[in-house]
Copies of this chain bind each other. A is one copy, B any other.
């Protein structure tokens, strides 16, 4: 059923700086697309089936622009180190387990179930090195009902023996097989080229990945300028690169002619930022992770003011939870500490801006996604905030703000992706 009307209290970003509020209004879905949000239901939609969600709140689905499926198993653990040590101590040992398909089956079943139930409707996901486990993850994500990009990770250097591809050529062969197996297999799940980051990818591997991007018309995701030690290592490994992002760009893996997500950009300088903007690269802002492993805080309001694409990300398991509401509140909180402790020239994020990056900001990577303007794909959450009890009358705006600070899975009563209802617990 792809043509229908939902009734409720509708909220969505009408710009980076403001949220449109339509109390007691109508949201129309036609063929999986939003036909608009209306205070009065237009006559031409009067015959469509209508679900009345009463006093509940309807918002666009949230977009998680960066997370690691094989790290979900150790969420909440091992956050007593900075990035490079954290990768070697916790992350690579855990990710190496996904060579075992039985383990992957168990772990990715849990992961996909959480993805199904949480506020996320779209996600850009890192898998592990392993093609079979990555295909299994893609099967699970397809079943979850979300729309996602999933990337088999490439690493052929500076990685532990037990978790490193044998050569650039074997990595590329496995990657191409995986692409061919998966690129037309699913309705909602697509492969994405995923060099882990510059330190673990040889020049030969990067050149080969560029070839695959062109040959199969694929997007790219990776990590950028997250941590000082990582940035220093990239400078050492790539003495000719003018800055970290340039090390990707030299290989044609930094947007421009393909969609590209770079996670973090905590310590991005002006030159790097200019190239990000020029190439239309999406920044995946990961406030929980950047705090947990002490990387810092990216100056997001500055990026937004520069018309740079910014989406929000849980970065599981640098971030401990897939709950994107938690990331919304954390993005605001981290921006305030950055303002207080480091740099008052960059304003803290407003609730409106945080909501924007969690919806339209990241959604735009997937096309027209993250809004209820006409023509956007119909991804929606129905929130029941009655569990967030209060003694006083509250405006719709206040109720929305409380959800963004306090909601979790319990408060999501129904979830729609591309016009399909994933569940309805009302």
A residues sitting closer than 8 Å to B (CB atoms) are 73-77, 79-80, 94, 97, 103, 106-107, 110, 288, 291-297, 320-321, 329, 332-334, 336-342, 348, 350-351, 388-392, 398, 401-402, 404-406, 408, 410
Which residue of B79, B332, B337 contacts A341 across the interface (Cβ within 8 Å)?
B337
> Nearest chain B CB to A354's CB is how many angstroms away?
11
Q: In the docked arrangement, what's the CA distance between A332 and B126, Å?
A: 26
> Nearest chain B CB to A82's CB is how many angstroms away?
9
* A341–B398 CB distance below 8 A: no
Contacts of A73 in B (CB 8 A): 390-392
> Nearest chain B CB to A296's CB is how many angstroms away?
5
Contacts of A292 in B (CB 8 A): 332-333, 336
Contacts of A398 in B (CB 8 A): 77
Which residue of B97, B288, B295 contacts A392 across the interface (Cβ within 8 Å)?
B97
* A389–B97 CB distance below 8 A: no
* A80–B351 CB distance below 8 A: yes
Give 6 new A-B contacts, CB below 8 A, not counting A74-B390, A79-B405, A341-B341. A74-B392, A288-B333, A292-B336, A321-B406, A337-B337, A410-B410
Q: In the docked arrangement, what's the CA distance between A79 and B404, Å?
A: 12
* B391–A336 CB distance below 8 A: no
Contacts of A106 in B (CB 8 A): 391
Which residue of B337, B339, B350, B408 contacts A334 across the interface (Cβ within 8 Å)?
B337
Contacts of A401 in B (CB 8 A): 76-77
Q: In the docked arrangement, what's the CA distance between A333 and B80, Å?
A: 10
* B110–A406 CB distance below 8 A: no
> Nearest chain B CB to A67's CB is how many angstroms away?
15
* A333–B390 CB distance below 8 A: no
Q: In the docked arrangement, what's the CA distance between A393 and B291, Å?
A: 27
> Nearest chain B CB to A332's CB is how many angstroms away?
7
Q: In the docked arrangement, what's the CA distance between A341 and B344, Å?
A: 12
> Nearest chain B CB to A88's CB is how many angstroms away?
18
Q: In the docked arrangement, what's the CA distance between A256 and B295, Å?
A: 41
Contacts of A388 in B (CB 8 A): 76
Q: In the docked arrangement, what's the CA distance between A110 and B401, Å?
A: 19
Q: In the docked arrangement, what's the CA distance between A415 and B83, Å?
A: 38
Which residue of B110, B402, B408 contacts A77 across the interface (Cβ within 8 Å)?
B402
* A341–B342 CB distance below 8 A: yes
* B340–A295 CB distance below 8 A: yes
Q: In the docked arrangement, what's the CA distance between A401 and B292, Å?
A: 13
